[in-house]
Structure formats: structure tokens, C-alpha cells
Structure 1
């Protein structure tokens, strides 16, 4: 795609992946054709989640720029949370710990490792069941700034069998995948399972982490999940997308629902969708 980046749309678009994604409009939306505003609504979520690549992405751990309030590299520093620790730790102003207890949907890693027969030490069980918050501090000027991987609140296993087994624990297994970055066991059961099973895959609890990774690379799965989560979710918001044209305020509801409570993404998402639609109209889009 040609042109200069603008603040509200900073990423370039992968043209091939974009075409492949919207060639499946019928499967994505349930309609043969969609309005301009519905196109913008369907575009802006995967645009945001994939950085414009329109390739089904997998949420990955690693390093995080801290403090989150700083934007210049000289005022912040990359802090390593590791592949697993990123999902175990909560980071203020950025993300919550995924290692939560939320029955009947989600259980912390300690309970799961104990159920696997891999953990019986009471102290270790308590640590594995934790959902610690990483206090920011000043990683730039503090020479003794602590390391998340060495913090006693983080288990950081270096040996078998807990190290590979944690990949099957809920905090890691059900991290974000796909065009809507479906996250959490509840979301996987509600939105992914109805797409996985018809495509020939097992239910989410029967699939290993690596099997889920591969399944979400299958267009039959990621298109179905997108439809189930964004376009026509079960429950009270099932018709929100269908009503966008008559009630653009539904965009705020959709954005907040996809991003999660507390993210305050809905207003920005709605503005972004309307801005894109208006720019396309101004550029001469005709729908033909």
C-alpha cells in the first residue's frame, strides 16, 4: 500500500492478506455485501490487532518498555518478562495477570500443575497460584532495578517437568490468538470452539497449546472465530454489528467488548471507524 502514515492509522497494510481476509466477507459477516461503515468496523479490529499485516497473530511474551507513561527511548527501558512471565505478571497501565481464578472458566497454574501430579509443595503451589503485579519503579535510573524473572513472586521454572507443563496452563494456553485476539478460556469456549469443531478439530480443552497455535492458522478457524466474536457473538450483543448503520453508537459497545473492561477502547474504535469511512467516501469510494 502506498502513502504516508498518519497518527490514527500508523501501519501499512499487507495487500495480499487484506484481500484474502475480505474475500471471505460472506463467511466473516454472514452477508454477501456489507456497508462502508460495516467494512470499517470489520477492518479496524484486525488492523489494530495485527498491526496491518492481516495475518492471524499469536500473542507473545518478552520485553516491555517501562515506564508505560514514557514515549521516548531515553526515558524508558526494555524490561524482560520472558515468554511465560509476560502472561503471569500484571503490568500497571498495560495488562492484568492472566493467571487468575475465575470459575467455572479459569484456574491458576498451581491448581493445574497439582492436578497433573507435578506439584505438591505448599509454598510453590502458592507462588504458582499467584497473580502478581509488577510495580514500575524507575528502570532507567535505578541501577539495582529488580528483574521480574528473579522476583520471588514468580516461579520461573528452569527444569522439567513444570517448565514445559506450564504451556498447558490456562494463563499461557489461552493467550490472545487470531484477528480478534481471543483471550481466556471463556472466550475460547464461546467463540473458538464453535469454529474449531466444524473445521474438524477437537474441543479447546482437548487440544494442546501447540495444536491450538496450528488450528488458528487455518482460515476456516480464524474466519469463524472472527464471526463468532466480533460479528455475531452469543448473548445480548448478537445484533450489535448488524445495527451499526442505523445506530453508529454500537461501535463503542463493540470496541469496549472486544478490548475488555477497563481498556476504554470503544470511543477510539468508533472514531477510527467513522474516520476511515469518511476518508474513503471523500476519496471517491462508490461501493462498486
Structure 2
């Protein structure tokens, strides 16, 4: 039996300004934009699970994805990466090329591959930095610190597709504050609606597992922290049923998303718990898991330690922290140049949803069962995403081949 190869070297230093710029949040109105096309129709992930089809949603089946050949599954399951730049170093030695170059070549001029390319050297650096943090020894025994080659390829295919090749994604954006739009500004996040001409419903973020604005407006914890913000004096303790609904009162209240104009509303779950990071972490339930991570953190990130001190576990439950936290808090945490929170979000999602590890059995990998690539994709990006993901993984595997050292 072929033994596993542990590939260990140190990552090169990546300029902090480059990482910070790449991970910065994009909340200003000039960069705000939300597409009314369900991501399932464009081959992207619905990480938040907010798009619900009417019937089949108009999806035209592309046929079953290619199977990953047994030779690939057997070999790639035995090649294990346990530190950041190891894939790059490994492929440079084995193939005289870099992994990003190989992926870019695999997708170039091949629409069947449906692969996004690494956009530039900044994306390659961010990729290396992400895996350096991912594979660092954690203080949580259930968290993975290594990936085999097939798992690595699968994650890469997700991240490249969902970031357009940049390996960076900030906070979920919303519509421009144009009153001519049906869902201007932040009302896009609050509203439940069916886009014109689409057989889909987009669900509201002002709904479980988030707390509604109406629930928060009468919360003592929420008001002690946020009632002095703009619109707080008017809205705190409000019992207007609209704030428990799924249609934002855009004729009565601003939709700009500007803290100076509507900070009290923006402290609510529908806004502050929108998607962030590489897998667009969404909903109070997922942010609550990150709060627990922060409150029990034993690493060396000054930023995470600052918030551990701000939200001590002996004074606040994780649910209370979710209530008192702000949009600015989460923007800052997800913009950490050390990437502690973006990486933790990816790991927590995998642990909670059970899509890792991938099986080393060829028949399972190509099925829809637990341990398959389709199950990985569907649990991460929504039903139907896994089939597209396996297609992307197949073409990267095909480019790599099996003439690799173990």
C-alpha cells in the first residue's frame, strides 16, 4: 500500500496590505450590487439557502458530470498536504509548473470544464495564506489540519468559482439606493420576493434562524448597545408588525445602508448576518458558532483576542453576543489580515455539515452519498451545486493526470 506523503515547508511572507485590501468589505453604496438571478441558474452556490425554486426553477439539466476515475481517487487520496504552499512546491517539483498555472490551463478554451482561473498573483498569494492558516495546528481536536489532494482540488474549485478567481470575497452586497428599484438598497436583504420572469422565490433575511427586527427592537440587550444609534430613539420598543415581516417599509425608512443615517436598523440580524467570506457565512446560527470560537480562542491574532476580551464568555452567552454585536464588528473580523475568522468559518461549516472527509473509495466519490463530491457540493452550496462541482474537479484531475510521485 502506498504510504501517505506529508509535505512540509514554510510559506513565504505575503504583504499585509495586499491581504487586507483583498479581504476588505465592500459596503459603500458605490460598490453595492445584487443580482436578481438565482445563483443556481448561473452555476454558483447558494450558500445561504435563500433561493427556493417554483417547480424545477427553469433549470435545464446539463447531464451527469464525468466520473472521477479510480486511478485518480486512489492516488490523490494518498497525497496529503499539511502546510500552505505545499501544493505549489509539490507540483513544481513533479510537473515543472505551479498548481494555479495548471488550473488556468485546464479551463482555458474549454467551456465543458466550467473552471475559473486564478486572476493574478494576489489571488495565488491569498490562496497560500488561506491554507497556511487552515493547516496550522488548532486547539480543537475535531478540526482538520490537512487535506488530501482530492479534497484540496475540490475546495479550490469552489473558491475559484465563487470569487471569480480572486480568492477573495467581502460582505454580501445589496442593491444601489435607487428609489426606482423595486428593492432598493438594504431592502433587498429584508424582502421576500419573486424576481420578474424567474420561477424562484428569494427568501427574507428578516426570518429564522435570524431574529427579526421586531424581536430585537424590544430586546434589552439590543437596546442597551444600539438604541442611541440613528433611528434608535424612534424605533426602540416599537411593536409595529412590519418589523416582523418580509417587506421592508421603504416608503417610511431609509434604505441606504449608511450607518450615519440608519445605524439602529443596520444592527439587526438581516443586515449584519448577511454573507461574508469565501463561503459567504450567513445567518445568526452560523455567526453564533463563530462567537463561541472567538470566546474560546487561544491563538495569537491580536484582532480575535481583542474581541475575546470584548465579549468574555463569563459575561455574555454566544446568543447575547450576536445581539449586541454590530455590522462593523463582523466586517472587521472578516477583514483580519491573518484570516483567522474566514478560515474558522470554512472549518466550522464543514464540521457542522459533515461533508469532510471525502471518501477514498471510487464508487462512493462518484455517488451522492456522504463522502462524495456531490454531497460535498450540495451541503456547501445548495442542491444541484455538487454535480457542477464534480465536473470542475474532474477537469482539474484530468490536467494533473496520474504520473505523480507519492
TM-score for both structures, normalised by structure 1: 0.69
Q: Which residue of 1 aligns with 2:89?
A: none
Q: Could you tell me how far 1:241 is from its partner in structure 2?
A: 1.4
Q: Which has the higher contact order (CA 8 A, sep 6+)?
A: 2
Which residue of 114, 124, 149 maps to 1:15? Answer: 124
The total of aligned residue pairs comes to 242
Match of 1:111 in 2: 215
Aligned in 2, Cα 1:258/1:94: closer, same or farther, shift over 3 Å?
A: farther
Match of 2:205 in 1: 98
Match of 2:242 among 110, 122, 127: 127
The 8 Å contact of residues 174 and 185 in structure 1, kept in 2 or not, is answered as yes
Contact 1:85 1:156 in 2 (8 A): no
Distance apart, 1:220 and its partner CA: 1.5
Residue deviations 1:228-281, cap 9 Å, x none? Answer: 113x23xxx43x311333332422222222224xx5322222332233223332
Aligned-pair CA distance for 1:176: 0.6
Is residue 329 of structure 2 the alignment partner of residue 211 of structure 1? Answer: yes
- The answer to whether structure 1 residue 85 and structure 2 residue 187 are counterparts is yes
Change (3 A) 1:49 1:94: farther
Q: Is the 8 A contact 1:36 1:287 kept in 2?
A: no
Q: Deviations over 1:93-124 (max 9, x none)?
A: 36321111x3xx422112212433624565xx
- Work out the CA distance in 1 between the residues paired with 2:391 and 2:175: 31
State the Cα deviation string for residues 112-142 of structure 1 (Å, max 9, x = none).
12433624565xx22222114xxxxxxxxxx
SS at match of 2:135: helix
Structure 1 pair 79/245, CA: closer, same or farther in 2 (3 Å)?
farther
| RMSD of aligned residue pairs (Cα, Å) | 3.4
In the alignment, is the contact (CA less than 8 A) between 2:273 and 2:282 conserved in 1?
yes
Task: Give the structure 2 partner of residue 30 of structure 1.
Answer: 144
Task: Provide the C-alpha distance between the structure 2 equivalents of 1:229 and 1:287, rounded to a whole number of angstroms.
Answer: 32
Q: Does the CA-based 8 Å contact 1:40-1:274 persist in structure 2?
A: no
Q: Which residue of 1 aligns with 2:374?
A: 252
Write the distance in 2 (CA, Å) between the matches of 1:127 and 1:56: 32
Q: Are the equivalent residues in 2 in contact too, given 1:216–1:222 (CA < 8 A)?
A: yes
- d(CA) in 2 for partners of 1:111, 1:162: 21
Which residue number in structure 2 is paired with residue 72 of structure 1? none
The Cα of 1:177 is off from its aligned counterpart by 0.9
Deviation at 1:89, TM superposition (A): 1.6
Structure 1 residue 168: Cα displacement = 1.1
Deviation at 1:80, TM superposition (A): 6.6
Structure 1 or 2, whichever has the larger Rg, is 2
**Aligned partners of 2:259, 2:144: CA distance in 1, in Å?**
47
Name the counterpart of 2:294.
196
SS across alignment from 2:202 = coil
Matched, 1:176 2:275: yes
Instruction: Describe the shift of the 1:160–1:217 C-alpha distance in structure 2 as closer, same or farther (beyond 3 A).
Output: closer
CA distance in 1: counterparts of 2:271 and 2:386, whole angstroms: 26
Query: Structure 2 regions of 5+ residues with no counterpart?
Result: 1-100, 195-199, 228-234, 298-303, 312-317
**Alignment match, 1:227:** 347
Which structure 1 residue ranges, 5 or more long, are not aligned? 65-77, 133-147
Deviation at 1:37, TM superposition (A): 1.4
Distance 1:79 1:19, change over 3 A: farther
What is the TM-score when the length of structure 2 is the normalising length? 0.51
Contact 1:109–1:166, Cα closer than 8 Å, also in 2: yes
User: Who is 2:390 aligned against?
Assistant: 270
